[in-house]
Amino acid sequence: MYDCDTYLRRLGYDPATGRPAAEPATLVALHKRHMEAIPFNSVGSLAVPAPSGRLVDLVDFDEDATFDSVVAAGNGGGCVQLTRLFLRLLRDLGFDADLIAGTTAEGRQSYGVEVEHMLILARVDGESWLADIGYAGPSFIEPLNLDGGGVEQRQYGCRYRLVPDGDGVSLRRRPRLGQWSTVYEFTAKVRDRSDWAPAEKAINAALAAGDDDDGGLYSRAVSDGQVVLKGRRYLTVRAGIEKAGTLSDDGAWRAHRDMILAGEVG
């Protein structure tokens, strides 16, 4: 059952001392703590029974049951589960926040939809912020300011740009020793959860056909970056330095997956 105080305790707060105020510093802290405390777990997104009988519910899933698995038990989940629950937390704390949508190149190729990735637009003290705790990465660890006019923003050794692109915005990222690349594209148009119905249909079709059986996707933020396991590829980003390798041994793959899920990646 969803509970704001349980959520805050999972993120390292003590509700007995009072809930954090709806201010920019709180948004930054909540964002990073969330990514450190609750992993992205693509298999976890399948752990909550779908009331509709489909393999995955993106629109009408049971938020209480999802909260028990994803947050309270710390199992983590996918983009939509994580984002919808975080949005609920932000609103409970007094933030003005809404869902917005984006798409990755991979998602567009796999599912052929424009509304795929789910993000949050938060407005605090007259400024707009992009919050995204549901992207496996590598991406940003703290929210990005949407009012910066394309000014480069830096976090933990990585650089980020929000570049106007047609009717939307392209999020671009550069690690310390790498080149600029596009993470995904999004628009600031406020969305309703029903807008993800086409993505739900496409993802369920892919799952039913076995097209998404790629070993899973797992990630978690660490103090100075992020670790990502995508299939057999293991990527670490520490202080902006990227290191990647292939885990061909099944035992090593399971060990790295379990470390991410258990939060044992110091």
Residues noted as catalytic = 79, 117, 132
Range 108-122 burial, b when 16+ CB lie within 10 A, else e: eeebebbbbbbbbbb
In the chain, the largest separation of any two C-alpha atoms, in whole Å, equals: 51
CB 214 within 8 A of CB 231: yes
Q: What is the three-state SS of the chain?
A: CCCHHHHHHHCCCCHHHCCCCCCHHHHHHHHHHHHHHCCEECCHHHCCCCCCCCCCCCCCCCHHHHHHHHHHCCCCECHHHHHHHHHHHHHHCCCEEEEEEEECHHHHHHHCCCCCEEEEEEEECCEEEEECCCCCCCCCCCCEECCCCCCCEEECCEEEEEEEECCEEEEEEECCCCCCEEEEEECCCCECHHHHHHHHHHHHHHHHCCCCCCCCEEEEEECCEEEEEECCEEEEEECCEEEEEECCCHHHHHHHHHHHHHCCCC
Peptide bond into 51 cis (omega under 30): no
